[in-house]
Amino acid sequence: MCPKALVCDGNTAVSRVAHYLSDAAILFPITPSTPAGENYDVMVGKGERNVFGQVPALHQLQSEAGVSGGLHGALLGGALATTFTSSQGLLLMIPNMYKIAGEMLPITLHNPTRAIGQQAQSIYCDYSDAMAVRSTGWCMMASNTVQEAQDLAAICHLSAIKGSLPFFHMYDGFRTSHSISKIDELPKEVMKDLLDVDAVKRFRERAMNPEHPVNFGVVAGTGTLFQSMEALNPYFERMPDLVQDYMDEFAKRTGRQYHLFDYVGHPEAESVVILMGSSASAAEEAIEYLSKKGEKVGVVKVHLFRPFSTKHLLAAIPKTCRKVAVLDRMKELGAKEPMYLDVVEAHADAGISRKIYGGVYGLGGKEFTPQHVAAVFNNLKKDKPLNHFSVGVEDDVTFRSLPLPEQIDAVPPSTKQCMFWGVGADGTVGANKDAIKIIGTNTPLHCQGAFAYDAKKSGGVTVSHLRFGKDPIKSEYYITAADYVACHASVYMEKFDMVSSLKENGIFMINSSWTSPEDFEKHCPPKVLRELAEKNAKLYSLDAVKIAKEVGLGPRTNQPLQAVFFVLSKVLPAEQAISLQKAAIKKTYSSKGMDIVEKNWAAVDRATKEFIEIKYDRKKWLGLKDKPVEVDMTKPKFVREWMEPVAALKGDSLKVSEQPIWSWPMGTTKYEKRGLAKNVPQWNAKKCVQCGACSFHCPHAVIRPYLATKDELKDAPASFETVKARGKKLKGLQYRIQISPEDCTGCGVCIKACPADALSFTPFDEVREVQKANYKFANALPIRRELVDKFSLKGQQFQEPLLEFSGACPGCAESPYATLLTRLFGDRAVIATASGCSVVWAGTAGFQAFTPSQDRGCGPAFGNSLFEDNAEFCYGLWAATDQRRKFLAETCYNILEHPAAGSLSSDVTTALKQWMENFMDYELSKVYGDVLRGLLHTGIESLTKNGELRALMHEILAQEDMLSKQSHWAVGGDGWAYDIGFGGLDHVIASGKNVNFLVFDNNQYANTGGQKSKATPLGAVAKFASTGTRQKSKDLGAIAMSYGHVYVAQIAMGADPAQTIKAFKEAESYDGPSVIIACCPCINWGIRKGMGESQIEQKYCVETGLWPLYRFDPRRVAEGKNPLMIDNAEVKRPLEEQLARENRYLQLKRNDPESYKALVEQLKSDIEFKIAKLHKLAE
């Protein structure tokens, strides 16, 4: 029977198998494994049955630590369980992994590999996570491609059951987990056929059951534990042969033969590399290329890594081999890498003398291509090859890196390679996934799609790499020589090098309004045009923005651009491709209404007719000269030498010595100038009432008011219009609202927030230069922060935002709360953030949005520990500060109490006393701290002759940066505060210490794509809750209030700015723990009118009663008052009005109207219950 083709990514392929071969999945989301769990959820939602004839169950727990406990229990309860995780999630499972192995429980854990956070966090692939579990006793299997991920997933499950041991299945994060390939589907019947039903029976029979009770988890004395460990040996010893037997049986049924170690290459190879994962395919491609050149080389692809079978490994290596390079995709600091050690030991044990060299590659997703493989073989050719080398970086510190030869093009010429540069969430990636599916399922072509993202939220850069060919595609790395390059954002022409990866005579297509060579000459750097001419590129342009707008698709340009790709690339006959595209459009959008389908069809038809070829004068473009490069030396060195190459996606070229290792500089996003917005707000001075709302709500701190004297405005640019500042305290000053155009995301939040209709959109291109100059001028004006009380909507706007130009999604509701925090307390804030969106929008390595004050230099110190421990991390920061400041206070006391204190001048003693009396006051500790510091800086030697007093004063000076009181904030999402980090939060608030919490409650795990948390409301569809949330949400505020000594506030800045500001003020001033829970509508809610309405959505949340506003201040008890103040807890608007605005509810309404109805009723009664409870408490 001809196998059915499946076009899917690695996660889907794996989770399909896991679904069929298990009774239950227990999950917690973490990139890049999350989509596997989501697919499992969808299959469960569809009622798909497993090989046992049952729909398997899915359970989400509060953390991976919880998951591993759940798995352990499920296994001991006799259920075949599975999970998907990665990286930090895997680390949390380690304690239970030991137990599961020790009890020989059959389970398969699927782990797309991902770097563990060490020097920096990374969501990309290396094996530092996988290697961290190699001592747990789990069998470890590595898959190298999407096909293998499916097939070996099944081998893992089957072997685990038959051999009664747990299996860890690893496949490369992002590269294999997220890249799409055409594979042969493994039928459920084959899995069923291969299943050892007796082993399943035995497994279920030994479960914990009161019908035939047994005891697990005993405590052993010194006498027996050793023996019981040795007793497990036979099970591990027999496993390699058992797995190989399964692989052979599998081959008989599918035609796909695997070995524990697969060798590819010359039968008499002299040099061999050993590695595993997707890079093995790149190595295979390189071996084919090098063999054609006559080199005797080969590669051993490792599948079964644990138990490590020496016998099978040695049998796989040709006898002729003299030199071996073992490549580990992880770095074991201060030691040799694991697979290298295994191979060395295998040879030593067998008495085989070969030279074995170890190398490290591909950390944190660094590319590994045939060029790198060639570098490794070049090294082996040397008389004295470098051992313990690295490949893929330039190590100018410890000089371990191998020199790279010329780029090798090992991709078969028949393979068509296409690259698409898009903007995150513009639909480019989705359209490309569709294109692969269309081509893969409708033609015999092989296909592959891999997707590269920068670390930004939506709005970042995406690059899609698509390959199509008649031969199987082994190129598991990004495209280096493309036949077709599409640029979907014209601003990229200035920013990125897109042409160097285009082949000679290739096609370059751009989404732009440019219609002539002159337009290109006006907008593009000469270098880019010269390169296009050098490559003799065929150049095309399509104004997809215009088409999308005119047909009523708003900013969605993906379909017209995809249509042009189909026409120009000729991967399929154009007519066939367009009709398939239209069919796909119908399938995707019909649930949203036929009008949407027809608009997309219309856009496709217009695109196929309206794209134009730009016939440029090749000679002219070849002769174009570069404009002199002006290096702006006012930018910090770090920005010029590190950040700018990284922003241009040239980070690979940075050397080891150029990498910061101690800490990262703050305030660098201001240099990024992403130029994302197509339209930016324009200020109408006459209408403006100077309320401050626009700057308050802007998620990116792009729009700000400025105050200036007429004198200061003398040199202002001509268009720098100002009006008289309103209010007595601002007498004599002029006022202006100014944006930074290149930092604006065009989200429109400010426009909707303006009560006076004083802002409107205007095209970015038209105002860019003028507003840039205006912004530069405005930014150099003095900061006048003291004139109006900062704890008011009007006053806060004049405070410097010490969080600016964050990488949040346009319109994000989390970042404006954090910006407000920095406006109010930024100069003294220590901010600990949990992993989640708030760590990503605040900054990715080197691109930091928290910034020091321009004129004062101080600003928020910002750090991240982990997802699970943020409360404890912040507690630690607080404890360190507390201890160090107490030491200063004691030192002051010791000076004043010293027998020689009488000799000190009154200036000194007064300064010491005043600081001591006020050292717990935020403002005054700074005022008196500055006085004291000033005195000590005049010279301690001049203040006293007494040696002991001098020594004490030097102690103060040594820690003078602790004189001002700091304000500690633990911030993070509901996933952290309600779920994984709740235990820590609970403990810290119980401690009574002065740690403040700011919880961004967006009702789900936004950063990993929107999975359900305990804050998700009833009825809302979220990932892992594809059929709608069925549990009531948790009331964190009520739990925190129950302590009595915790300040608690529930706020929504879009609904009540004054209440929000009050809550921040009260929380910080309260000398104890505070919890502020902030309403944060998110892109994952699917607000139908777009994220420009994120602040308006908050009003709906409050008015429908979903989000009551209140403050609970324990200080009021001493005044004889009820601590609870209800600011707004009433149902003023029908709940349905809000639900109709959000796709997360509409999805359920469409798919399952009955459940929707029932859940909405439940939600209403939950709202009523919570509101009634609040009012009762406030009585």
Ligand X SMILES: Cc1ncc(C[n+]2csc(CCOP(=O)(O)OP(=O)(O)O)c2C)c(N)n1
Catalytic residues: 31, 64, 114, 1007
Task: Please report how close the Cβ of residue 838 comes to ligand X at its closest, in angstroms.
Answer: 6
* Bridge partner list, 360: 328, 390
Q: Which is nearer to ligand SF4, 545 or 680 (CB)?
A: 680
Cis peptide before 32 (omega within 30 of 0): yes
- Does 578 participate in binding ligand X (rule CB under 6 A)? no
Using the contact rule CB under 6 A, the part of the chain among 666-674, 676-684, 750-758, 830-838 near ligand X is: 830-838
CA distance 70 to 48: 23
Q: Which is nearer to ligand X, 62 or 443 (CB)?
A: 62
Task: Please report how close the Cβ of residue 1079 comes to ligand X at its closest, in angstroms.
Answer: 13
CA distance 347 to 353: 7
C-beta of residue 62 within 8 angstroms of C-beta of residue 72: no
- Does 560 participate in binding ligand X (rule CB under 6 A)? no
According to CB under 6 A, which residues from 765 to 824 bind ligand X? 814
Task: Please report how close the Cβ of residue 76 comes to ligand X at its closest, in angstroms.
Answer: 24
Using the contact rule CB under 6 A, the part of the chain among 168-176, 457-465, 856-864, 997-1005 near ligand X is: 997-1005
- Does 1006 participate in binding ligand X (rule CB under 6 A)? yes
Task: Please report how close the Cβ of residue 747 comes to ligand SF4 at its closest, in angstroms.
Answer: 4
CA distance 1056 to 1060: 6
Q: Which is nearer to ligand SF4, 1002 or 1074 (CB)?
A: 1002
Task: Please report how close the Cβ of residue 1005 comes to ligand X at its closest, in angstroms.
Answer: 4
CA distance 110 to 59: 16
Residue 702 contact among ligand SF4, ligand X, none, beta carbon within 5 to 8 Å by kind: ligand SF4
- Does 476 participate in binding ligand X (rule CB under 6 A)? no
Residue 1022 corresponds to which tokens in the numbers above?
């979220």
Sole binder of ligand X in the list 305, 735, 847, 1005 (CB under 6 A) = 1005
According to CB under 6 A, which residues from 842 to 871 bind ligand X? 867-868
Q: Specify the DSSP element, H or E, that contains 262.
A: strand 261-265
According to CB under 6 A, which residues from 673 to 692 bind ligand X? none
CA distance 600 to 557: 9
Sole binder of ligand X in the list 143, 147, 679, 1007 (CB under 6 A) = 1007
C-beta of residue 848 within 8 angstroms of C-beta of residue 668: yes
Cis peptide before 106 (omega within 30 of 0): no
Q: Enumerate binding residues for ligand SF4 (CB under 6 A).
A: 457, 681, 683, 688-694, 698, 700, 702-703, 737, 739, 744-750, 753-754, 756, 758-759, 808-809, 812, 814, 837, 841, 1002, 1006, 1082-1084
Q: Do the bridges between strand 723-724 and strand 703-708 make them parallel or antiparallel, or are there none, so unpaired?
A: unpaired
Beta strands in 454-493 (DSSP E): 461-469, 482-487
Task: Please report how close the Cβ of residue 138 comes to ligand SF4 at its closest, in angstroms.
Answer: 34
| Beta carbons within 8 Å of 56's beta carbon, 6+ residues apart | 19, 22, 23, 24, 25, 40, 44, 50
- Beginning with the edge strand found earlier in the chain, give each strand of the sheet holding 271-275 in spatial order: 261-265, 297-302, 271-275, 323-328, 355-361, 389-391
Sole binder of ligand X in the list 1002, 1060, 1074, 1098 (CB under 6 A) = 1002
Task: Please report how close the Cβ of residue 704 comes to ligand SF4 at its closest, in angstroms.
Answer: 9
Task: Please report how close the Cβ of residue 494 comes to ligand SF4 at its closest, in angstroms.
Answer: 20
Residue 982 contact among ligand X, ligand SF4, none, beta carbon within 5 to 8 Å by kind: none
Residue 283 corresponds to which tokens in the numbers above?
């190595």
Q: Specify the DSSP element, H or E, that contains 389.
A: strand 389-391
Using the contact rule CB under 6 A, the part of the chain among 17-25, 298-306, 361-369, 1004-1012 near ligand X is: 1004-1012
Residues 8-47 as x/- pattern, contact with ligand X by CB under 6 A: ---------------------xx-----------------
How many chain residues bind ligand X (CB under 6 A)? 26
Which stretches within 897-1008 are classed as H helix? 906-918, 922-937, 940-943, 947-958, 974, 982-991
CB-based burial of residue 73 (10 Å sphere; 0-12 exposed, 13-18 middle, 19+ buried)?
middle
Q: Which is nearer to ligand X, 100 or 837 (CB)?
A: 837
CA distance 528 to 534: 10
- State which amino acid sits at residue 358: G
Q: Which is nearer to ligand X, 131 or 911 (CB)?
A: 131
- Does 64 participate in binding ligand X (rule CB under 6 A)? yes
Residue 974 contact among ligand X, ligand SF4, none, beta carbon within 5 to 8 Å by kind: ligand X
Per-residue H/E/C for 845-864: CCEECECCCCCCCCCCEEEE
Residue 688 contact among ligand X, ligand SF4, none, beta carbon within 5 to 8 Å by kind: ligand SF4
Q: Which is nearer to ligand X, 72 or 1062 (CB)?
A: 72
Using the contact rule CB under 6 A, the part of the chain among 108-116, 983-991, 1007-1015, 1085-1093 near ligand X is: 1007-1015
Q: Which is nearer to ligand SF4, 636 or 1090 (CB)?
A: 1090
Residue 747 contact among ligand SF4, ligand X, none, beta carbon within 5 to 8 Å by kind: ligand SF4
- Beginning with the edge strand found earlier in the chain, give each strand of the sheet holding 180-184 in spatial order: 5-9, 180-184, 446-453, 461-469, 416-423, 482-487, 502-511, 538-542, 612-613
Q: Do the bridges between strand 734-739 and strand 612-613 make them parallel or antiparallel, or are there none, so unpaired?
A: unpaired
Q: What is the largest CA-CA distance in the chain?
A: 101
Task: Please report how close the Cβ of residue 727 comes to ligand SF4 at its closest, in angstroms.
Answer: 12
Task: Please report how close the Cβ of residue 31 comes to ligand X at its closest, in angstroms.
Answer: 6
* Bridge partner list, 422: 462
Interface residues with ligand X (CB under 6 A)?
Answer: 29-30, 64, 88-89, 92, 814, 834-838, 867-868, 972-976, 1000, 1002, 1005-1008, 1013
